[in-house]
Amino acid sequence: MRKEQQMCTDVLTHSKWVSEIARQREQRALSEAEHKRLIAAVNHQASYIKGLRQMVLHRLDGNAVSYGKGNSFNCFNNVPTIHSMTSELYTTYLQQLEGSYARADSVLNACGLMTMSETAVDSTHRSKADSELAYFQHVSKVLLPYSFQKICEAIWTTIHEQEEPAFGVYETAPDHDVFIKSRVLTSLNVGTLVQRFISRYYEEENRMLFVWKMSTKGEGDFSGLHADETTWLSVRPTATGAMVELCVQQVPIRFNLASNREAAEEIFHKMLHESLKADKSGMFTRLESLLLDDILTGIEC
């Protein structure tokens, strides 16, 4: 009987010992994972600083190009990764895209796209509580005389040109339907807008929906000014081609902005409007070019 009791005691002791070893191993694994995360964060920050330095060198080398027609600012598309993206930030962006996708139908209905004729409308929306600026909105609708499939392919190509690696120079987004890129808009003697663009497409029955978000951070005289832009681009087949419906909402954000910064804020808003107009014009010009090239392929003059 005593032997059996001793054996039970030994088994319990051994079990506790094994559990303690397992606990220590788990704790060690967690500590090592946290250590790796901290090192990765430091490396990302170093990459961010390096990217900013390279961006400045690009400016000095005259890498700027005028953006749009009649605009007072330049665009730097071919810049290094200007915001190093951690896996946590990437996950946050994806969650935002999924949330925007879930709201797609309600947004498109609320802005009147589903019932409006082919046109474009710009509007400013204010908070009902205090009449403060809530967001700027642009909606447009156009029927294109091309096949639904060709238009979707052309839009995909147009949107995702100049793709940027998501996690640094040597890494790309882990999801094949997600695209990320950055750019810098600079206004002479005023300030700079640093922008990151992330998009995803969703295939549905009789509709392709492109959703993207663009975060804007102001620098220089625009310091403290930010903006979040969300775009829903719907493509639906019709009997004569495909209907393209676009809704863009720009939400300006102010952080600790002094009361005497109204002039800078006004220019900031103007640059947001002008860049949106230039983006839309450039996208549809490129879209038409791709579709015409596809039609002309194989036709001998």
User: Nearest-CA neighbor of 45 among 83, 80, 79?
Assistant: 83
Q: Which of 281, 84, 77 is nearest to 171 (CA)?
A: 84
Instruction: Tell me 112's DSSP state.
Output: T
Stated as kind and residue range, the H or E segment containing 165 is: none
pLDDT of 208 reads 95
Buried b (16+ CB within 10 A) or exposed e, 149-179: ebbbebbbebbbeeebebbbeeeebeeeebb
Structure tokens at 12: 């319990």
Q: What is the pLDDT of residue 39?
A: 65
DSSP 32-59: HHHHHHHHHHHHHHHHHHHHHHHHHHHH
Q: Domain map of the chain by residue range?
A: 1-63, 65-296
Helices 262-296 and 148-159: crossing angle in degrees, nearest 10, is: 130
CATH architecture of the region 65-296: 2-Layer Sandwich (3.30)
What's the pLDDT score for residue 43? 58
Q: Among candidates 263, 267, 285, 265, which has minimal Cα distance to 275?
A: 267
pLDDT tens for the chain, residues 1 to 301: 555 555 555 544 556 665 666 677 777 777 777 666 666 655 555 554 445 444 444 443 444 445 555 556 666 655 554 455 677 788 888 899 999 999 999 999 999 998 899 999 999 999 888 888 899 999 999 999 888 999 999 888 888 775 555 545 434 566 778 888 878 888 766 788 888 888 999 999 999 999 999 999 888 888 889 999 999 999 999 999 999 999 999 999 887 766 667 888 888 898 898 888 888 888 888 888 888 877 777 555 4
pTM, two decimals, is 0.71
pLDDT of residue 55: 46
